Amino acid sequence: MTTPSINTWAKVLAKDSDALVKDWQREQKAAISARPDLMTDSELRSESVEFLELLLAAVDDGASADISAEPWAPSREFLGDISRSRATQGFSPTETAAFVFSLKQPAFALLQAELKNEAALLGEVWSFNVIIDKLGLYTTEVFQLSREDIIRRQQAEMLELSTPVVQLWEGILALPLVGTLDSERAQVIMENLLQGIVDKGSGVAIIDITGVPTVDTQVAQHLIKTVSAARLMGAQCIISGIRPQIARTMAQLGVSFEGVVTTASLADALAHAFRLRNLHVSQPQSRS
Amino acid sequence: MERIPILKMGDFLLVSIQVDMDDRLAMSLQDHLTDRVVKHHARGVLLDISTLEMVDSFIGRLLGSIATMTRVLGAETVVVGMRPAVAITLVELGLSLGKLRTALNVEIGMELLGSLTNASTEGAGRERQAD
């Protein structure tokens, strides 16, 4: 690594930083990655100036080419913020990384004009190149991470939203399930339902699977586990919403909900739950 | 040695587990409880495990065997207040304890014990009806 000479290019760039920023901005705008619809000129300019300042300050602090080192911390933080905000704004990773990479062209031009000695020029260009490459890759990395964060958060929200525990009556809970049940979702459902039973002090819980497209042996296993766990806590479970075609496939697969009350519709399940709680529903006598 | 207190309430015995159960403590509970059931002619046992946070297969099986033992001695056992995490653990361990009677809390458990012991004196028909 050409660490001793790391300062020379920085000095050259610092001397002419205003012109450099102008060139750099032109370069960014000319590149196919420019997105005038997402960012204004002035925003781009202030970001460019700030990044260049941080870059030169880091070199002044005696930074080496190892960008994970302490002097690079402000630059990393700044690039991290830029990547994250661009990820949410809808930039592509290439467009984000181009912010850093497009600095190369104008900086090389500047160095070329300044340094006459070819060997020295080559060394400077190389050491500058190494750092810009690493910083550029760093933006892509942060971009990727923030995208993954978004995906994870959405997954968690979906899990939460897809398993609501609702109270139908005092002592009667319902859990309407919509969508495919995989192991992870089944686990969340089980925990939510059991917690709901404790919170509401409900003795009866109805699991409605009208919205579950397929019930195979694994899904049945998950449901049976949930029912068993609820029973251990002292609550009875009813599985409702079994469609004819699901009943047929279950019979063909040899899946059975043994020892579990099952009904075809949620209404039947509610009627059964009323009987369990010793509640009676009756139509009021008409007044005529 | 540490002991889990067994309280007598009328015809029933009340056991509230307030400490971490280790295997030796669990065994001693099982022994003392069966002794007390015989001594007091108890007709029901209420086992409150609402503060129990951890179970293993041994404790899980023990809950089932306590219920079986007291039933042989003429007392129904109702386990109350099992936490969700404990219930999930037992199910994952494959211990569904099908014959164990459970209730959400002590109050409901007492009601259940009352109806169970009434039913057993008035004949088996009533329990069926309640289902």
CB neighbour burial string for B7-39, b if at least 16 within 10 angstroms, e if fewer: eeeeebbbbbbeeebeeebbeebbebbbebbee
Residue with structure tokens 């020892």? A259
At A100 the pLDDT is 84
Residue A117, Cβ density class (10 Å: 0-12 exposed, 13-18 middle, ≥19 buried): exposed
Q: In angstroms, what CA-CA distances link B42 with A72, B10, B35, B77, B113? A: 76, 8, 10, 10, 11
Nearest residue to A132 (alpha-carbon basis) of A61, A79, A77, A88:
A79
Higher pLDDT, A174 or A13: A174
Going by pLDDT thresholds of 50, 70 and 90, the confidence category of residue A4 is very low
pLDDT tens column, A185-223: 888 889 999 999 999 999 999 999 998 888 888 888 889
pLDDT tens column, A33-78: 566 677 777 888 888 888 888 888 888 777 677 777 788 888 888 8
At B37 the pLDDT is 94
pLDDT of residue A2 exceeding 70, the answer is no
Closest chain B C-alpha to A229 CA, distance in angstroms: 5
Selecting from A195, A228, A234 the residue whose C-beta is nearest the C-beta of B96 gives: A228
At A33 the pLDDT is 57
Going by pLDDT thresholds of 50, 70 and 90, the confidence category of residue B109 is very high
Nearest residue to A206 (alpha-carbon basis) of A247, A176, A169, A246:
A176
Q: What is the pTM of this model?
A: 0.63
| CB neighbours of residue A60 within 10 Å | 13
> Mean of the pLDDT values across residues A173-186?
87
Domain boundaries, chain B: 6-130
At B90 the pLDDT is 93
pLDDT of residue A5 exceeding 80, the answer is no
> Which residues neighbour A116 within 8 Å (Cβ) at sequence distance 6 or greater?
none
Interface of A with B in 251-280 (CB under 8 A): 259
- Does the beta carbon of A203 lie under 8 angstroms from any beta carbon of chain B? yes
For chain A, list the domains and their CATH numbers: 3-157 (1.10.490.10), 166-276 (3.30.750.24)
Q: Which residues of A touch B109 (CB under 8 A)?
A: 234
Single-letter code of the amino acid located at A249:
T
Beta A172-178 vs A166-169: how paired, if at all? antiparallel
CA–CA distance, A34 with A94 (Å, rounded to integer): 10
CA–CA distance, B23 with A277 (Å, rounded to integer): 38
Residue A67, Cβ density class (10 Å: 0-12 exposed, 13-18 middle, ≥19 buried): buried
At A228 the pLDDT is 92
Domain B6-130 sits in CATH 3.20.20.10? no
Residue B83, Cβ density class (10 Å: 0-12 exposed, 13-18 middle, ≥19 buried): buried
What is this model's ipTM? 0.79
At A35 the pLDDT is 67
CA–CA distance, A169 with A281 (Å, rounded to integer): 12
Using CA of residue A18, residue A21, residue A23, residue A29, what is the dihedral sign?
Answer: negative
Please, are residues B32 and B64 in contact by the beta-carbon 8 Å criterion? no
At A255 the pLDDT is 81
Is the CB of B90 less than 8 angstroms away from the CB of A190?
Answer: no
